[in-house]
Amino acid sequence: MEPSPPELLEEIVEEVLLRFPPDDPASLVRAALVCRLWRRLVSAATFRRRFREFHFHRTAPLLGALCPGRAGAGDLRPTSRFVPTSSFRPPHAARYGWNAVDARRGRVLLERWPWGSGPLRTELAVWDPATGEQRELPSLPMELNVYPRSWAAAVLCAAAGNCDHLDCRWGSFLVVFVEIEHDSNKICSRIYSSELAAWGEQTFSDLRCRHDHDHCFKPEPGVLMGNALYFLFNSNHGIVRYDLTTREASTIDMRPAFHPQHIVLMTMDDGRLGFAAMEDNNCGLKLNLWSRVVGGDDDKDARFVRCRVIDLPKALNAPKVSPHASGFAHGAGVLFIWTFDGLYSMDIKSEELREVPGTRYCHGFANVVPYLSFHTPAGTALLLYDR
């Protein structure tokens, strides 16, 4: 009888496991089922850290998206459902009565819509889909409009520039809240700190915009570029820029204006701010990408210039309801497109188009919220993934 082959050294096994693709978390689960040694390696905190460090050259993978919809037949409560684009499965895919506002670094910012009798007061919470943990934030000292929305918000890592963002979803976070005060023509802002478990003092900035429109925000996540957040107005006439260093807000005019189109803000490959918009005319269905170009030294002279046109298949176009851009996964370069038959995802670089299963219920009035994060299984978390 031939002797058994020698076992691989533990260090070699770990080096192999580190090279598993981060956009397929289930592969690590399957590896953990091989034997006790592999399970111990995969579930160790040191491995999770090394796994993130090994793949640090790339951004966190796109694991899925939060889609707006209803709770079910006869239950009209607004509900956000996690739709996977990978093997990752959260323990509770639906947040009944909650709507996803933003997601970043493994955290999802939720709003609870007022339902039934009582004051129209929107409440906010931060949810970790991987663990199911949800932290409700203290109520803001004002009533918020549900629709049209006079406010926007984003969730961020509290460490900002001092964090490598490899494992920061376990740490402290901030929630930036921006609201338009129409009576005073001001932009007021507050920041919630998880360390203090409280909202900070209000700051005010003048609302200056060339276009005379109702200044309400589009229900889509903000864009984080450098040290600033960008939020789009509902009528596409302008953008609010919030500086995280000075904690001041300013407005950017959309020139030219794009009032009739459903657009989605995005980050371009060259680091500029841009947006995507669908165009349906006699020449067929097209996706237009626009980039912000600054003229001279004055940021106010910036304009949006169309930099790319992508022809889309006619199969996306359904009668009566035109498709539109519905969300952008910053860092992953993936655009979500809403159609009457459900969602599609498009890789902007390769132009590869994929259908996202199980999204027929997804409402088109609000954008989806992409979810990007590094995840490695640990203990009972192995149950979160397909085997």
Is residue 2 in a domain?
no
Residues 150 and 287 in one domain: yes
CA distance 105 to 248: 23
Residues 179 and 245 in one domain: yes
Q: Which residues, including other chains, have CB under 8 Å from residue 118's CB and lie 6 or more apart?
A: none
Q: Of residues 259 and 385, which shows the higher confidence score?
A: 259
CA distance 231 to 263: 12
Residues 42 and 133 in one domain: no
Q: Of residues 31 and 261, which shows the higher confidence score?
A: 31
Q: Which residues, including other chains, have CB under 8 Å from residue 149's CB and lie 6 or more apart?
A: 216, 217, 218, 219, 234
Residues 80 and 97 in one domain: yes
Residues 33 and 68 in one domain: no
- CB–CB of 303/293 below 8 Å? yes
Q: Whole-number mean pLDDT of the chain?
A: 80
Number of domains in the chain: 2
- Computed on alpha carbons and rounded to an integer, the radius of gyration of the chain in Å comes to 22
> What does the pLDDT read at residue 387?
41
**pLDDT tens digits, residue range 108-142?**
999 987 655 445 566 899 999 988 899 999 988 66
> What does the pLDDT read at residue 71?
63
Residues 163 and 77 in one domain: yes
DSSP state of 200: -
Length of the chain: 387
Is residue 1 in a domain?
no
Q: Supply the CATH number for residue 276's domain.
A: 2.120.10.80
Strands (E), 61-185: 62-72, 75-84, 94-96, 98-104, 107-112, 123-127, 134-136, 151-157, 173-181
Residues 272 and 196 in one domain: yes
Residues 250 and 351 in one domain: yes
> What φ, ψ does residue 36 adopt, rounded to 5°?
-65, -35
- CB–CB of 12/363 below 8 Å? no
Residues 34 and 158 in one domain: no
- CB–CB of 177/192 below 8 Å? yes
Is residue 324's pLDDT more than 50?
yes
Is residue 3 in a domain?
no
Residues 67 and 157 in one domain: yes
Residues 13 and 127 in one domain: no
Enter the pTM of the model. Answer: 0.83
**pLDDT tens digits, residue range 71-120?**
666 666 778 889 998 888 888 888 888 989 999 988 999 998 765 544 55
pLDDT band at 254 (very low <50, low <70, confident <90, very high): confident
**pLDDT tens digits, residue range 278-291?**
887 777 788 999 99
Containing domain of residue 17, as a range?
8-58
Smallest CA-to-CA distance from 312 within 320, 322, 302 is with: 322
Residues 45 and 189 in one domain: no
CA distance 14 to 109: 34
> What does the pLDDT read at residue 181?
80
